[in-house]
Structure 1
Amino acid sequence: MSATCPQCATPDRSVPVSHALGDTAQPLDEPLRALLSPPPEPPPAGEGLSGAAIALSVLAAVFCLLGVLSLVRNREELAGYDPAYRTGYLMGPFVLPLILLAIAAIVEVVKRNRRPRVSGAGSPEEVARRKQHLLVWQAGWLCRRCRVAYFPEESIRPGFPASPAIPPEQFPFWVMTAAERAFGPDARPVVS
C-alpha cells in the first residue's frame, strides 16, 4: 500500500511508521524514534505486596520500635549481669521483628508463585486496549520529507477517515484517540 502525505501530497517519501523505526539505511534520530515508538506494555497486574505481608511488616516495625525504646530506657540496669545475658537482653527485642519479616517474605513469595502467569500482563481490558492501540499504531505512516505522521483513509479499519498531518509530538495521543474512535463503545459500524 502506498499512502500520500496530506502535507506535501506526494507518496514517494512516505513509509509505515513500523518500517521507519526499523530502517537501518535511514535511521531516525532518537527523539523522533521515542515519539513514534509502539504503545508501551501495560503494567503487570497486581504486583504490589499482599495484605498479609504488609500487616506482618508493620507489626515487625512496631515491635522493633518498642525494642529500641526499651533499650534506651533500661541500659544502665545491665551493669552487673553476665555478658551473655546482656547480649540476649540487647538483641532479644529484635528477634521477633526478624521472624515476622521472614514470615512476611515467605508469604509474599508463596503469593507470587501461586499467581497465574498472564502473557502480556495487565488486566484483560488493558491487554485488549493495548492490542487496539497497536493496530492503530501499525496503520500509521511517516512522511520523511515533511517529518509528519498520518493515517491514510481506511488504514485503521474500513470506513475510517484519513487524518491530517500529525506532528510527531502528537502521534502517541492520536494513536490513543483513533483507537477509541475506531474500536470504542461509540464506534460507528462499518457500512458496506
Structure 2
Amino acid sequence: MSAPCPQCAAPDQSVAVSQALADTTRPLAGPTRALLAPPPGPRPAEEGLSGAAISLSVLAAVFGLLGILSLVRNRTDLAGYDPAYRVGYLVGPFVLPLFLLAIAAIVEVVKRSRRPAAPAAASPEEEARRQLHTRVWQAGWLCRRCQVAFFPEASIRPGFPASPAIPVEQFPLWVMTAAERAFGADAPAVAD
C-alpha cells in the first residue's frame, strides 16, 4: 500500500515511517531519524546514592569542616619549621576527608556495577498511553521528496481524517496529539 503525500500528491516517494527508519539503502539524516523515532519506552529507575556512600560523604564533610576550623583558629607561626612539616600542617586536616570521599565513591561504583539499572515500573495508565502513541506512530508516513510526515485517512483508526503535511520537527507532537484525538475517550488519563 502506498499513500499519496498531501503536499505533492505523489505516492511514489511515500513510505511508512517505520519502513523509512529501517531502510538501509536510503538512510535518513541523523536529526530526521531522531525526530521520527518511535515513542520511548519506560525510562530506567533513578537510583540515589547508597546509604553507606551518603554516610561516608557526611563524615568527610564534617571532618573537612573541622579541619578548616582548626586552621582558622590556630594561627601558629610555622616560619621556623621544616617545609615538609608546614605542608603537612596545612594539608593534614584534609587527608581523612579525602580518604572518606574516595571510599564513598568506590562503594557507589561497586553498588551500581553489581545491580544493573532496572526499568521503572510504569503504571498501567502510562503503559496504555505509550501503547496508543506507538500505535499512532506506526500509522505515520514520510514523503521522501517533500521531507514531510503525514497520516493517511483511516490509518490511525477507521473514520479518522487524513492529516495535512507535517514538518518532521513537529511529528512527535502530532503523534501525541493524534493519539489523544483518535482515542480521546479510550485514552488513559495520567497526571503528569
Match of 2:2 in 1: 2
Superposed CA offset, 1:131-164 (max 9, x none): 4433322221011233211112332344543322
User: Aligned with 2:166: secondary structure?
Assistant: coil
Q: Give aligned-pair identity as a percent.
A: 76
Change in Cα spacing, 1:80 to 1:145, as seen in structure 2 (3 Å) is closer
Structure 1, unmatched stretches of 5+, are none
Match of 1:174 in 2: 174
The equivalences for 1:19-38 within 5 A come to: 19-38=19-38
The equivalences for 1:149-188 within 5 A come to: 149-182=149-182, 186-187=185-186
**1: CA distance, partners of 2:165 / 2:68:** 65
Work out whether 1:141 is the aligned partner of 2:146: no
Q: Is the 8 A contact 2:45 2:117 kept in 1?
A: no
152-161 vs 142-151, greater mean Cα deviation: 152-161
Q: TM-score, normalised to structure 1's length? A: 0.68
Change in Cα spacing, 1:132 to 1:92, as seen in structure 2 (3 Å) is farther
The equivalences for 1:41-120 within 5 A come to: 41-50=41-50, 53-54=53-54, 56-74=56-74, 76=76, 93-94=93-94, 96-98=96-98, 100-101=100-101, 104-105=104-105, 108=108, 112=112, 118=118
User: Aligned with 1:15: secondary structure?
Assistant: strand
Instruction: For 1:122, give the aligned amino acid.
Output: A
**2: CA distance, partners of 1:13 / 1:82:** 81
Structure 2, unmatched stretches of 5+, are 188-192
Number of residue pairs aligned between Structure 1 and Structure 2: 185
Superposed CA offset, 1:72-110 (max 9, x none): 443636789999998886665335434643564466457
Q: Is the 8 A contact 2:153 2:163 kept in 1?
A: yes
Change in Cα spacing, 1:141 to 1:46, as seen in structure 2 (3 Å) is same
8-17 vs 164-173, greater mean Cα deviation: 8-17
**2: CA distance, partners of 1:63 / 1:127:** 46
Work out whether 1:124 is the aligned partner of 2:115: no
**2: CA distance, partners of 1:144 / 1:85:** 73
**2: CA distance, partners of 1:20 / 1:70:** 67
Instruction: For 2:122, give the aligned amino acid.
Output: P
